[in-house]
């Protein structure tokens, strides 16, 4: 046999063009015959001519099933799971004109397993500073990539797995409010579809497989209209670990001195785990005047006696009796007194925080930078004042 020997398709007999040959275990197949195979089939090289001929007969018979298929339910947005609940049959296809593509019609009884998974990836969106260096937005912005995947295992002579993506999309975060708005409507719709696919399979198979969810964004916090309108209340889904996360907390903004006071508490909560991260967070909200060495040693001294609980005592629910364990999500109220604005003309405001371990409110001073209108943390010493010891540390309890 020479290099230029003409090849013929062992299925349909037609001449195979240059580069058009699809090798079989014991023969050759043309492109046109390959197109007629199931899209879920992948084992061509190990198939014999006879097996391919059988599959093509099965595919031909499938056309009548496609014709008779009545869609009573559609789940998914990219690839879709189509159900004919009357005949108890299903199709998976990504085409809107799926009937013209002869998609495999399977009986419910052919389903042997199902797993579903939602994956979220988070990337920071950066910008360039004056020198062209890549820097974070303040607050940082993120782009989320979502994938919604299902794997159906089936009992069929030509394929045993149908892997498909029911949705996939990008979402860019709106600065500042991401944690309160949650994943957004597109996510919720796609999630509902994928959960419905899992539920459909679970019911057929008598299994209780759960959709695996790998996400990095905290669940949306349902806000009452009253809480949303309350400008002195701050609700944090989780405590921040970095300066970037601190500035990304819901409603934290340098235009709002109340929010910077709340952020100061969140930053100080970081000290027991990571003092340097705590200082970096405080510097981020101190703006033009970062912490001095004296400030840092003061903070270290305040925490020295195991008083880790002081900053978290400002969150709702934290009390001496529960070792100052805040309710979830973290809620903190920042209030104003009649004297709060005594030095307002000089650019200062004194706001107050209520600890679950003290009767008097603790002051925090914020300072305004008139050229930008921003408020920065000026004096945080009041936040670390002594409070009642937690019950577990109280010898008189
Ligand atoms: Zn052919």
Q: What is the pLDDT of residue 396?
A: 79
Q: What is the pLDDT of residue 279?
A: 97
CA of 394 to the centre of ligand 1 (A): 86
CA of 100 to the centre of ligand 1 (A): 20
* 138: pLDDT strictly greater than 70: no
Q: What is the pLDDT of residue 115?
A: 97
CA of 48 to the centre of ligand 1 (A): 14
* 248: pLDDT strictly greater than 90: no
Measured distance CA(107)–CA(179) in Å, rounded: 43
CA of 5 to the centre of ligand 1 (A): 17
CA of 29 to the centre of ligand 1 (A): 5
CA of 67 to the centre of ligand 1 (A): 25
What is the per-residue pLDDT across 46-105, written as a single tens digit (0 to 9) for each?
999 999 999 999 999 999 999 999 999 999 999 999 999 999 999 999 999 999 999 999
CA of 106 to the centre of ligand 1 (A): 26
Rounded to the nearest integer, the mean pLDDT of the chain is: 91
> Under a CB-based contact definition with an 8 Å cutoff, are residues 303 and 296 in contact?
no
What is residue 93's three-state secondary structure?
strand
What is the per-residue pLDDT across 369-392, written as a single tens digit (0 to 9) for each?
999 999 999 999 999 999 999 988
CA of 8 to the centre of ligand 1 (A): 8
CA of 23 to the centre of ligand 1 (A): 12
What is the per-residue pLDDT across 249-285, written as a single tens digit (0 to 9) for each?
888 999 999 999 999 999 999 999 999 999 999 999 9
CA of 201 to the centre of ligand 1 (A): 37
CA of 20 to the centre of ligand 1 (A): 10
CA of 368 to the centre of ligand 1 (A): 78
Is residue 5 very low, low, confident or very high in pLDDT (cuts 50, 70, 90)? low
CA of 36 to the centre of ligand 1 (A): 9
> Under a CB-based contact definition with an 8 Å cutoff, are residues 124 and 89 in contact?
no
CA of 56 to the centre of ligand 1 (A): 11
* 121: pLDDT strictly greater than 80: yes
CA of 103 to the centre of ligand 1 (A): 20
- Name the phi and psi angles at 104, rounded to 5: -60, 130
| Mean pLDDT value of segment 172-183 | 57
* 19: pLDDT strictly greater than 60: yes
CA of 130 to the centre of ligand 1 (A): 63
* 139: pLDDT strictly greater than 80: no
What is the per-residue pLDDT across 291-350, written as a single tens digit (0 to 9) for each?
999 999 999 999 987 889 999 999 999 999 999 999 988 999 999 999 999 999 999 999
Long-range contacts of 92-99 (CB under 8 A, 24+ apart): 92/152, 92/162, 92/164, 94/164, 99/66, 99/67, 99/69
What is the residue-wise DSSP string for 319-388? -GGGTS---SSEEEEEE--TTTTTTGGGTEEEEEE--TT-SSPEEEEEEEETTTTEEEEEE-GGGGS--P
* 180: pLDDT strictly greater than 50: no
Q: What is the pLDDT of residue 175?
A: 55
Residue 24 has a CB neighbour count (10 Å cut-off) of 21
Q: What is the pLDDT of residue 178?
A: 45
Nearest to 280 by CA among 257, 259, 263: 263
Q: What is the pLDDT of residue 250?
A: 85
> Under a CB-based contact definition with an 8 Å cutoff, are residues 146 and 167 in contact?
yes
CA of 13 to the centre of ligand 1 (A): 6
What is the residue-wise DSSP string for 148-181? EEEEEEE--SS-SEEEEEEEEEEEEPPTTTHHHH
CA of 50 to the centre of ligand 1 (A): 13
Q: What is the pLDDT of residue 181?
A: 53
User: How large a percentage of the chain has pLDDT more than 70?
Assistant: 94
Measured distance CA(75)–CA(85) in Å, rounded: 13
pTM of this prediction? 0.60
CA of 205 to the centre of ligand 1 (A): 39
CA of 52 to the centre of ligand 1 (A): 11
Q: Is 259 exposed, middle or buried (0-12, 13-18, 19+ CB in 10 A)?
A: buried
CA of 30 to the centre of ligand 1 (A): 4
């Amino acid at each position: 046999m020479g290099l230029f020997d003409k090849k013929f398709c062992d299925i349909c007999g037609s001449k195979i063009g240059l580069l058009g040959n699809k090798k079989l275990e014991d023969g050759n197949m043309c492109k046109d015959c390959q197109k007629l195979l199931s899209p879920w089939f992948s084992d061509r090289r190990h198939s014999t001519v006879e097996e391919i001929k059988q599959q093509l007969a099965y595919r031909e018979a499938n056309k009548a099933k496609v014709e008779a298929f009545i869609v009573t339910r559609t789940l998914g947005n990219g690839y879709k799971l189509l159900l004919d609940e009357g005949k108890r049959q299903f199709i998976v296809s990504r085409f809107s004109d799926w009937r013209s593509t002869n998609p495999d019609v399977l009986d419910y009884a052919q389903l042997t397993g199902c797993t579903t998974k939602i994956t979220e990836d988070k990337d920071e969106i950066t910008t360039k500073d004056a020198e062209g260096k890549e820097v974070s937005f303040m607050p940082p912005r993120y782009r989320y990539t979502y994938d919604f995947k299902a794997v159906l295992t089936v009992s069929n002579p030509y394929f045993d797995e149908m892997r498909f993506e029911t949705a996939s999309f990008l979402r860019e975060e709106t600065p500042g409010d991401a944690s309160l708005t949650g994943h957004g409507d597109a996510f919720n719709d796609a999630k509902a579809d994928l959960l419905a696919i899992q539920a459909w399979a679970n019911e057929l198979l008598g299994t209780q497989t759960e959709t695996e969810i790998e996400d990095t964004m905290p669940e949306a916090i349902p806000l009452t209209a009253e809480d949303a309108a309350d400008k002195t209340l701050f609700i944090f889904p989780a405590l921040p670990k970095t300066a970037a996360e601190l500035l990304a907390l819901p409603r934290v903004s340098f235009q709002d001195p109340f929010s910077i006071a709340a952020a100061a508490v969140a930053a100080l909560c970081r000290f027991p785990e990571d003092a340097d991260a705590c200082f970096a967070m405080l510097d981020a909200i101190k703006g033009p005047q970062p912490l001095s060495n004296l400030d840092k040693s003061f903070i270290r001294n305040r925490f020295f006696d195991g008083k880790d609980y002081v900053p978290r005592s400002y969150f709702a629910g934290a009390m001496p009796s529960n070792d100052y364990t805040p309710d979830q999500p973290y809620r903190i109220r920042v209030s104003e007194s009649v004297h709060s604005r005594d030095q307002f003309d000089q650019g200062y405001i004194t706001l107050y925080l209520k600890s679950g371990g003290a009767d008097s409110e603790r002051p925090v001073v914020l300072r305004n930078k008139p050229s930008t209108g921003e408020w920065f943390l000026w004096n945080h010493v009041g936040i670390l004042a002594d409070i009642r010891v937690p019950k577990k540390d109280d010898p008189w309890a």
